[in-house]
Amino acid sequence: MNSLLLQILDPIFGRPRGVPGLIGGAIMQRGNAEQEAWAVEHAELSPGMQVLEVGPGPGIGLALAAEAVAPGGRAIGVDPSRTMRAMARERCALHLAVGHATLREGTADDTGLPDASVDAVISVNNVTLWDQQAAYTEIQRVLRPGGRLVIVHHRHTMNTTPEQLHEELGKAGFEEVSLDVRGRSLNRAAVGILARRPA
Ligand SMILES: C[S@@+](CC[C@H](N)C(=O)[O-])C[C@H]1O[C@@H](n2cnc3c(N)ncnc32)[C@H](O)[C@@H]1O
């Protein structure tokens, strides 16, 4: 994508803020729900687990993850956008009230979570916004040994090829890295990458 378009889209989708961010959130909660569900389905979640969602935006995946780890578990959303955290807080109000979800300010490279504290990490449509090397180090730090990483992204908004991302995760020390590129009837292709912190 060219840099002018990226600048225009940044307050809507990249770092959502103000009215443009609210409009972006409304678009994302409809348009990206299938990707969020795919990420949760592939995260090997079960009741009692702790799962981190990086960049949950309006909170569709965070709510699904909270349902997948209840009872006894917790879905933790970390997002730098106050606008997105407010939307997610509204969507996940019940899960937050009973402790099946929490939301905090942070980024992929600075989650604020303790070492080896989560069983899985998911990310939908934000890996391109990360400081990637620092984020991979942070994700390996917070994932328990053997824990699952699921990264999902629209193919047409990626700034690398899916194969490059796959290769980078291997170089960053993740194991069992696999790549899935799915055609969709109502949108362009979706990329899904599964990986694991070494046991
Ligand atoms: C395009 S939205 C995707 C939201 C949602 N996951 C979806 O697919 O609908 C990108 C999200 O990533 C968040 N974000 C931006 N920079 C980030 C970073 N460095 N680390 C984590 N999240 C980030 C944004 O605030 C926003 O909520």
Find, among 68, 109, 75, 107, the residue nearest to 89 by Cα. Answer: 75
Domain holding 77, by residue range, is 31-196
Minimum mean pLDDT range among 68-72, 132-136, 153-157: 153-157
What is the predicted pLDDT for the residue at 1? 63
Question: For residue 101, is it within any domain?
Answer: yes
The residue contributing the CA closest to ligand 1 atom 24 is 15
Distance 78 CA to ligand 1 centre (A): 9
Q: Report the nearest atom of ligand 1 relative to the CA of 29.
A: 9
Question: For residue 146, is it within any domain?
Answer: yes
Question: For residue 23, is it within any domain?
Answer: no
CB 91 within 8 A of CB 58: yes
Q: Report the nearest atom of ligand 1 relative to the CA of 81.
A: 25
Q: Report the nearest atom of ligand 1 relative to the CA of 84.
A: 27
Reported confidence tier of residue 188, pLDDT bands at 50, 70, 90: confident
The residue contributing the CA closest to ligand 1 atom 23 is 55
CATH classification at residue 177: 3.40.50.150
Encode pLDDT of 91-111 as tens digits: 999 999 999 999 999 999 999
Residue 144 has pLDDT above 80, yes or no: yes
Peptide bond into 71 cis (omega under 30): yes
- Match 């407010």 to its residue by tokens: 86
The residue contributing the CA closest to ligand 1 atom 5 is 57
CB 100 within 8 A of CB 75: yes
Distance 84 CA to ligand 1 centre (A): 8
Q: How far apart are the first and last CA of the chain?
A: 37
Question: For residue 51, is it within any domain?
Answer: yes
Reported confidence tier of residue 183, pLDDT bands at 50, 70, 90: confident
Instruction: Give all strands (DSSP E) within 39-117, no chain letters.
Output: 50-54, 74-78, 101-104
CB within 8 Å of 161: residues ≥ 6 apart? none
What is the predicted pLDDT for the residue at 143? 98
Distance 61 CA to ligand 1 centre (A): 12
The residue contributing the CA closest to ligand 1 atom 11 is 55
Strand 190-196 versus strand 175-182 pairing type: antiparallel
Question: For residue 19, is it within any domain?
Answer: no
Question: For residue 154, is it within any domain?
Answer: yes
What is the predicted pLDDT for the residue at 159? 87
Question: For residue 13, is it within any domain?
Answer: no
Residue 68 has pLDDT above 80, yes or no: yes
Q: Report the nearest atom of ligand 1 relative to the CA of 123.
A: 6
Encode pLDDT of 5-35 as tens digits: 888 999 999 999 999 999 999 999 999 999 9
Residue 7 CA to residue 76 CA, distance in Å, equals: 29
Residue 76 has pLDDT above 80, yes or no: yes
Residue 29 CA to residue 119 CA, distance in Å, equals: 25
Reported confidence tier of residue 129, pLDDT bands at 50, 70, 90: very high
Number of structural domains found in the chain: 1
